Amino acid sequence: MRNPYLPYPVRIDEIITETEDRNLKTFKFVFLDPDDEGRFAYRAGQFAELSIPGKGEIPIGIASSPTETGFVKFTVNKVGLVSSFLHNMKVGDIMGIRGPLGNSYPWEVLEGKNVVIIGGGFAFTTLRSSIVYMLEPGNRPKFKDIHVIYGARNPGMLLYGDELAAWERRDDIHMHITVDGTDDPNWKYNTGFVPTIADQKAPPADPDTYAIICGPPIMIKFTQPVLDKLGYGHDQIIMSLEMRMKCGIGICGRCNIGKDFVCKDGPVFTLAQLNDMPKEY
Amino acid sequence: MTFVKIDKNAWEAGLARLAAAYRLFGPVKEGHSHEFKALDAGQRPDMAYVNTRRSPKALIYPQSEKMFDFSLDETQADHHILREAEKDYAPCAVIGIRPCDADAFLLVRKNFDTPEYRDPYWVKAYEATTFVGLACSAPCSTCFCTTAGSGPFHEAGLDLLLADEGGTYLAKVLTPKGASLVEAAGWGDATDAQAAESRLQELRAAAEERIVSRVPTAKLKDQKINPLFEAPFWQEVAFSCINCGTCTYVCPTCWCFDIQDEVHGKEGIRYRNWDSCMYPLFTHHGSGHNPRNQKTQRVRQRFMHKLKYYVDKYGDGIQCVGCGRCIRLCPVNIDIRRVCNLMNHFDATACAIPAA
């Protein structure tokens, strides 16, 4: 059995500065051994440990979609030691990726369903992976209506601007982009917090409608009552959690909520599952 | 199973022969207490010890362990690529381990050796090791192994069990590994198995009777996690705790670790080190958020993990073998037996104030 702590060596192929505050950058990695790409087969919603020798590892959601080949992408917020160092690395640098880790969004359940994606701020990465995955021509017929409600503080803080604009132009996905506020006279989308826009735009509850929510705790706190009001069952509200992690494989012991490890049993849980777990996250 | 009688005059010579085939480890007195140490040539384990201060978990799972090394020197072909650290998994034998401590490795194995992932360091070190147990006939007042799923003559996790009979050891061979060790040592005095087994059971019964400290665990599995998590006693249980982490470091079943890189010049090493749920950094997010930033939350985590989460996850009793080290060494006298009792008997529906 392969050593689960040994990362696959990768080369940084491209770095995109995503936001106007330059705190979010997307890193596109190419595997040094092309066969490692097959070993890294992943599903939307999983994460990986980005491994920088001499600095350490950070658990980051996979922003690329399994339908995109030849590379993997991660969007990283500059926060601590490893992410700050990564932000100063350059194209061509060698590092490692360990994964894929964790469960994923429940794609078997979501097939044949309406999917409502609700995201805020920089927690849009695995949601981007999910959207690209569902919009792949071979996959799109497997899903019914797709709604996306995505917000950031202002237009300059939205991730993946070009893709958002491209999705806006499509008729097989309902985009509801919003910003908390802006003085840009050319802003043509919504203005308002994500929970407010969700209240206005989210489709009504239906046994065939599932919501995936990813965002800062404050957004989740105020979005949940909106979905409750709309009548979404707690089995139909899917969330992805964050925790401090080290091993990523349920062994090192720190990321538990009750008896479940966020790294291995999660990071994706339904609200119904979270209701039965201690409120310690 | 076969039994052999080992004359104590043959014991020394056998150990000398074993040293040629195994790296030997055993209890050695250091200052006021015993520790498990690699035995130098001619050094003998102190079989008169009660138990070591720290558990023998470090023999399989060192407090600090190299995982990988790497070079940051860009003139090297494999710069910034982790290389497996060189390891030596030559056969080892631990002489004189207490049955509770050997049993603890079986609990810990559930964490390190899973259907999805195997921790290669732990598994290889464990598989390379033969455990020669020394049955307890004089337990400490803090030992509660018999109600923690283990016992003074418990055989699980051992390859060979020795019972001290004065001039001889009565040895029960429990596994092929144990048989190989007996053969390598040349301890060959086979004895009537039936008589030996009944003698062993006699000694066992007497030893178990000497364990007077008990914990009730029967109701833990039926408790619900959330009410127990919200129970009113955690503040009081944690009140005197100073979060020193001694309990986790001496515990044979505490397995949590951290991973850290160290660099000297252009060469680096990725280590793993024991970590502890008693420390705030254990769960501190990069953002500054910490789901267990209060000491009460951390103390609750330790006991909930051992006495509830593990119980629910594996359906195999508590994550504790009753060695009593955390009780003996806690500087503020927190006692897991008392906490286990509180948790086991907790009734969320009961009135906090007893009726007059």
Range of the domain at A49: 8-100
Q: Same structural domain for residues B79 and B147? A: yes
Q: Count of domains in chain B?
A: 2
Are the Cβ atoms of B256 and A252 closer than 8 angstroms? yes
Check residues B293 and B356 and name the one with the higher pLDDT: B293
Q: Which residue has the tokens 């100073």?
A: B242
Q: Is pLDDT above 60 for B1?
A: no
Domain boundary residue, one of B165, B187, B210: B210
Say whether both A189 and A159 belong to one domain. Answer: yes
How far is Cα A264 from Cα A69, in angstroms, rounded to an integer?
Answer: 25
Please list every residue in chain B whose beta carbon sits closer than 8 Å to the beta carbon of residue A32. 81
CA distance B265 to B268: 8
Query: Which of B148, B176, B210 lies at the terminal end of a domain, its last residue?
Result: B210
Residue A180 in any domain: the answer is yes
Give the pLDDT score at A214.
93
Is B103 at the interface with chain A, CB within 8 A? no
Mean pLDDT of B194-200: 93
Identify the closest residue of chain A to B297 by CA–CA distance.
A280
Secondary structure of A193-253 in the HEC alphabet?
CHHHHHHHHCCCCCCCEEEEEECCHHHHHHHHHHHHHHCCCHHHEEEECCCCCCCCCCCCC
Is residue B119 located within the same domain as residue B224?
Answer: no
- What is the pLDDT averaged over residues B128-156? 95
pLDDT band at B353 (very low <50, low <70, confident <90, very high): low
Flag whether residue B296 sits within 8 Å of chain A, measured between CB atoms.
Answer: no
**The tokens of A177 are what?**
């982009």
Query: B340 lies in a domain?
Result: yes
Neighbour-count burial of A250, counting CB atoms closer than 10 A to its CB (0-12 exposed, 13-18 middle, 19+ buried): buried
Of residues B181 and A121, the one with the higher pLDDT is: B181
Same domain for B178 and B233, yes or no, is no
- Looking at the domain assignment, is residue B349 inside a domain? no
Contact B261 A56 (CB under 8 A): yes
**Does residue A280 form part of some domain?**
no
Residue of A nearest to B261 (CA): A54
Give me the pLDDT at residue B111, please.
Answer: 97
Residues A89 and A169 in one domain: no
In this structure, are A83 and A114 located in the same domain?
no
pLDDT in tens, A187-237: 999 999 999 999 999 999 999 999 999 988 889 889 999 999 999 999 999
The reported pLDDT for the residue numbered B191 is 80
Q: Considering the domain boundaries, does residue A248 fall inside one?
A: no
B115 touches chain A (CB under 8 A): no
Task: Inspect the interface and report whether the beta carbons of B81 and A96 lie closer than 8 Å.
Answer: yes
User: Per-residue pLDDT averaged across B94-114, rounded?
Assistant: 97
pLDDT for A25 beyond 90: yes
Which chain A residues touch B119 with a CB distance below 8 Å?
4, 251
* Minimum Cα–Cα distance from B109: chain A residue: A251
Instruction: Determine the Cα–Cα distance for residues B130 and A208; give it in Å rounded to an integer.
Output: 57
**Do B46 and B183 share a domain, yes or no?**
yes
Domain containing residue B299: 220-344
Cβ contact A121:A142 at 8 Å: no
Name the residue of chain A whose CA is nearest to B254's CA. A253
The per-residue pLDDT of chain B, averaged, comes to 94
Within a domain: A79: yes
Residue at A276 is within a domain? no
ipTM: 0.93
Q: Is residue B352 in some structural domain?
A: no
B186 lies in the same domain as B243: no
- Kindly state whether residue B353 falls inside one of the protein's structural domains: no
Q: Do B291 and A58 touch (CB under 8 A)?
A: no
Residues of chain A positioned with their CB less than 8 A from the CB of B261? 53-56
Assess whether B182 and B85 both reside in one domain. Answer: yes
Mutating which of A49, A77, A259 best tests the B interface, going by the most B Cβ atoms within 10 A? Answer: A259
Interface probe, candidates B113, B228, B283, B312, chain A, greatest A C-beta count within 10 A: B283
Residue A118, pLDDT above cutoff 80: yes
| Residue A253 domain flag | no
In a shared domain, residues B168 and B98: yes
Name which residue leads in pLDDT, B348 or A235: A235
Q: How many domains does chain A have?
A: 2
* Domain co-membership, B23 together with B66: yes
Residue A114 distance to chain B (closest CA, Å)? 32
Residues A66 and A151 in one domain: no
Q: Are residues A87 and A114 in the same domain?
A: no
Residues B158, B77: one domain?
Answer: yes
Same domain, A93 and A136: no
Domain final residue, candidates A100, A133, A150: A100
- pLDDT (0 to 100) of residue B356: 47
Interface of A with B (CB under 8 A): 1, 3-7, 9, 32, 51, 53-58, 79-80, 83, 93-96, 242-244, 246-247, 249-259, 264, 276-278, 280-281
Quote the minimal CA–CA distance from A106 to chain B in Å.
19
For residue B12, report the phi and psi dihedrals to the nearest 5 degrees: -60, -45
Please check whether residues A13 and A116 belong to one and the same domain: no
Q: CB-CB: which of A54, A94, A280 is closest to B263?
A: A54
Whether B286 and A244 lie within 8 Å, measured CB to CB: yes
**pTM for this entry:** 0.94
Give a yes or no: residue A193 inside a domain.
yes
DSSP character at residue A14: E
